Amino acid sequence: MRPLGLLVLSLALAASGCDVDRRAEAGTDEAVGIPESAADRARLDSLLAPYGALSAEVPPVPLSEAQRWADSVLASLSTDEKIGQLLIVDLNPRFLAGARNLVQVAEEWGVGGFHVPRRMPPREILRSTNLLQESARVPLFFTADYEWGAGQPGTPLTELPAAMAFGASGDPLLAEAAGAVSAIEARSLGVNVLLAPVADVNNNPRNPIINTRSYGDDPRMVGRMAAAFVRGAQRRGVHATLKHFPGHGNTGTDTHLAFDAVPGEWGDLALTELGPYRAALAEKPGIVMSAHLWMRALDSEATPATFSRRALADVLRDSLGFRGLVMTDAIHMGALTSRYEFEERILEPVLAGADIVLNTYDPLRAKEVLREAFDSGRLTRSRLDRSVHRILTHKALLGLHRQRTNASARLERVLSAPSGERVSRAVARASVTVVEPGPVPLAAGSRVGVMQLANFRADRAEAQFVGDLRDGGIDVVPLAATTASASRVDDLDALVIAVHLQVAPAERPTLTRDQQRVVDAALSRGTPAVVVLFGNPYAALDLNGSAGLIMAYDGIPRTASAVADVLLGREPAPGRLPIDLPGRYRRGRSVAL
C-alpha cells in the first residue's frame, strides 16, 4: 500500500474503534476479550450441560511452550518438509493427483493437513484423522467447513441455524454457545480447525453466496457475534477461522464460480468490511482466511486479496496486528482458475503473505512450484521459515505436540445423544422475526392451505413444518406450487406460503420466475395469507401483494418447528431483522403478536 494510503487507512481504523491491539502484536499469553458476567457463564453452562464433561474449557498451552516446540521441530525439517507444511489437501484420494492413498500423502509427501468433507460419516472421519495423525511426522491440521456445526442428515451431530439467525437473535452468548458446540463435536471427529465464523458484512442484498451465512449488515453486530463464536470455539480446543478477509459481503458474485471486485474507498473498507475483524481479532482467532476478490480500495489493478500484499501484509498484519495464520480460500475456486495458472495460484498467495494454501488437488506439483521459487530466491528461507514456525506454533497451541489422536469413546459419547439440540433450539426460537403479522396466530381448527416452494431438496423441513401445524390442531390443506392451485385458496380460512431458499454455489437464492408467478397468483386471491421465508430474507424484495411476512433465515427442521410454534401462537417471535431491506423495511424491525 502507498504510505499515504496506509496512513489514511490507519486513521480510519482508529476513528472507528479499530486501533491495533498492542497485546496481540506482542504475542503475549494475556487473555483478550469481552468481560463475562456470572449470569452469562451460568446460562452458557446450562446450554452446554448435555455434553457433560466434554463441555469443559480446554486449558490453554502456554505460548512459550508452543514456541519452544516449534523451534525444535523447525530446526529438524528439510526444505521440502517445510514446504509441505504450507499445504492443506482434500481428505479424498480421488481428488489428489498421483496419490496411492492418503497415508502416502501424509507420510511421504509431508503435507501440513487435510480438509474434511461435510458429508463424510462421523466414524469414518475419526478413523481417517487418527490414522493420518499416526502416519505423519509432524502433527496435522484437519479443517472443516462447520459454519452450521458438524451436523448433517442421518447423524445426531448438531445442525445449527444460519449465522443470520444469530444476528436476528441479537444475543452474542448464543453465538458463543454455537462456537462451543461446533468445537466439542469437531474435536470428537479429530477436526481441529473450524473454517468459521463468517465475518463478512452482508451489505449487498443480491449477494448470492454470503447472504444468510453472514450475521447481518451492521459491522458492529457482526463483530460481536464473530468474536463470541471465536471465544466459544477456541476455549474448547480448536482454532477458529475468520473469513473471508477483507470482506465478501458487498459483491453480487459467487467466487466459487467467477472473479469480482468490492467497491469503495479506504474509509468504506475500514468502517464496514474491516469493522468486524477488529472486534473478533481481540479474541485471537488462530486463522484468518483470504477472499478471492479484488478490493478496489487497496489495489489499483485487479488483484485478488489472496494475492495482495496490501491486503494480507499491510492491512491484516501491520494495521490490524494479526499474528495468527493466514490461509487462502480454496485455490480451485472459479475466481482463481478462470484467471490464473496453477503455478500462480500456489506461489502468489505465499509471496503476498499467506501461510497456508488450502485444498490443492496436486500437492506434489505444488511442492515443486514452491521449491523452484525457493531455489531461484523468489521464496526466501527467512520467509519460508517464518510461515512454518507460525504453523508449528499453532499446532502446538492446539496441544497436538502432546496428543495428536482422539479416543473413539469421545465420539461415541457425542453420537449417543443429540447434545447440541438445546443450543440449536434456543437460537431458532430467538431468531424468528415477524415483519408483518397477517393472519397470525392461526385460529385453532382453521382450514389452512400450505404451499411450499424451494430451490433445493427441502423435504425434512417441509415435512416438519406441516407435521407441527397438524399436531397443533390446524386442518392443513397441502397446495401444489402451481398457478392452477392458487385458485383453490378461496375456500380456505388462511394461506401459508413457505419459501425455502438455500444459499448454495451455482444457485441464486431467489424465487424463479415461475415460482414468483405462483406466489403472486396465490396472494392476489384475497385470502388472508402469510409468507414465511426459510432462508434468504432478501427475497422479500421480490414479493408483491399484501400478506403477513415472517423471516426464519434457514431451512433446518428445528427452525421449521420454531416457526410453526409462532404461527400456532405457542411461542413469541423475539427476532429482529438483522439487515435493511431497501425500500421496504429497516434493520431492527419486529412486530409483536
Catalytic machinery residues: 256, 329
CA dihedral over 539, 544, 545, 546, signed as positive or negative: positive
Rounded to whole angstroms, the maximal C-alpha distance in the chain is 79
3-state secondary structure at position 453: strand
Report d(CA 551, CA 369) in Å as an integer.
49
| Residue whose grid cell is 474449557 | 57
Report d(CA 558, CA 219) in Å as an integer.
28
Report d(CA 186, CA 157) in Å as an integer.
9
Report d(CA 548, CA 561) in Å as an integer.
18
Report d(CA 260, CA 272) in Å as an integer.
18
Q: Which is nearest to 271 in space by CA: 218, 308, 225?
A: 218
Residue 507 has what DSSP assignment?
A: B
Residue spans of beta strands (DSSP E) within 427-516: 433-436, 447-454, 475-479, 494-501
Report d(CA 355, CA 193) in Å as an integer.
15
List the end-to-end C-alpha distance of the chain, in Å, as a whole number. Answer: 52
Three-state secondary structure readout of 359-386: EECCHHHHHHHHHHHHHHCCCCHHHHHH
Neighbours of 11 (CB within 10 A): 14
Beta bridge partners of 215: none
Report d(CA 556, CA 549) in Å as an integer.
19
Report d(CA 151, CA 57) in Å as an integer.
21
Find out whether 9 and 315 touch, Cβ atoms under 8 Å.
yes
Give alpha helix (H) positions in 49-137: 63-76, 79-84, 102-107, 122-135
Report d(CA 33, CA 208) in Å as an integer.
33
Beta bridge partners of 295: 262
3-state secondary structure at position 194: strand
Three-state secondary structure readout of 546-577: CCEEEECCCCCHHHHHHHHHHHCCCCCCCCCC
Pairing of strands 293-295, 357-360: unpaired
Report d(CA 466, CA 482) in Å as an integer.
18
Give alpha helix (H) positions in 259-319: 266-268, 275-281, 309
| Per-residue exposure over 198-216, b if at least 16 CB sit within 10 Å of its own CB, e if not | bbbbbbbbebbbbbbbbbb
